[in-house]
Amino acid sequence: MAPKKPTKVLEDILENLSERNFKKFCSGLVGRDKRVKKNQVENKDFLEVAEVMIEKYADEALKVAEELLRDIDCQQAANDLVAEVKEAGLRWGDDSTSEMTVKDFWMSKKDDPEVYCVTEDNYRNRVALLITNIKFSDEKLDRHGAEKDEENMEKLLQSLGYEVVKWQNLTGKGIDDAFKGFAKHPKLKQTDSVFVVIMSHGKLGKIFGADWREDNPDEFAVDKIYRCLNSNGCQALINKPKVVILQACRGVRSGATTWVHDGESTGRPAPPPEDHVPELDKSAHVEKDFIALLASTPDNKAYRETQNGSILIQNIVKVFTPESYQKHIIDLFTKVQDLVSKCGDDQQKQMPAIDRMTLNKKFYLYPGLLDSSH
């Protein structure tokens, strides 16, 4: 049997899209650049759209199609397209990176001085801290839907090669103790990086402990994360990326209707915690190689759906796919920001914030690096 031509490969993929996804694909095609006009794809079938793409993009058509499919979250269709292209021995135009396996991509980056070093041994020793507060002493504060967040985040971290140290329903002191214990974890000497994730209620500069009440401000200061894991607090992590994800409100601004929020609904936001400046390490800046993604901007709420979990975690899982290995952590977080910002309506908006970014190289996660199938 003769190998498929690019037009036929593209036709087969587009034909299998649902009507809704095909419309999204065409809309994305029009919005991508000025090559394709709306009237060239509007009310056209998959055969006509495929012809337009080949005409306008030539050898790049298949690569463009893959990018558009991933943008509209048709990951399986994109994977099928890649498989079809490889089977037919076709090229992606001048860009051959899509044909790389994770290991190929890792090999291309492992000696790059502008990329954080990841060795196979380091990868085997990855470890992450996951803290989820779901149940509170005051039952009115129980975070319904947070079970889904915990499940999703644990699976995601494991898929990225991290052993997950998991805690649930901790007080402020309990969170503090968990970080102090994590900073002494034996794997930190061998790991290439760490993730730390806290999901709870909160306000500016504070995470609520499980015993939080109006008359008992059981809280954990966010700044303690950095004190505990910085060059003074944890020398095993010097020069290694430390990724912080916080799902919690940072204030009381903005309203909610069908969504609940991860923060207290009354009172003024707390001021930032008092800063304690530790003695500088002689060989490394006291705080470097951090990047944090906070669920919202200062003084604003972070939203959670009672069935599907928080808006932030849902979109992190959507962006951090096995196919995302060619994107570094800042690009991934920026995509999460874009998706979350489009949730809700004009009256209910959430914008995650990339905070305390002190990475000085690109950090790639290489999901599935040690899996022989990748």
- Architecture category of domain 6-88 in CATH: Orthogonal Bundle (1.10)
Domain locations in the chain as residue ranges: 6-88, 102-269+280-355
Helix/strand/coil percentages in the chain, nearest 5 = 40, 15, 45
* Residue pLDDT, tens place only, 75-97: 888 888 888 887 777 765 544 44
Q: Which fold has domain 102-269+280-355?
A: Rossmann fold (3.40.50)
* Residue whose entry in the numeric block shows the structure tokens 């943008």: 71
pTM above 0.85, yes or no: no
Q: Which of 201, 228, 234, 328 is catalytic?
A: 201
Is 374 one of the annotated active-site residues of the chain?
no
Work out the burial of residue 274: count CB atoms within 10 Å of its CB; fewer than 13 is exposed, 13-18 middle, 19 or more buried: exposed
Q: d(Cα 174, Cα 167) in Å, to the nearest integer? A: 9
pLDDT digits (tens, 9 = 90+) for 175-215: 999 999 999 999 999 999 999 999 999 999 899 999 999 88
Q: What is the pLDDT of residues 47-77, one digit of tens each?
A: 999 999 988 888 788 989 998 999 898 988 8
Q: Sorting pLDDT into bands at 50, 70 and 90, what band is 98?
A: very low
228, 249, 261, 328: the catalytic one is 249
Q: For residue 218, give the nearest of 204, 206, 234 by alpha carbon.
A: 206
Query: Is 228 among the catalytic positions?
Result: no
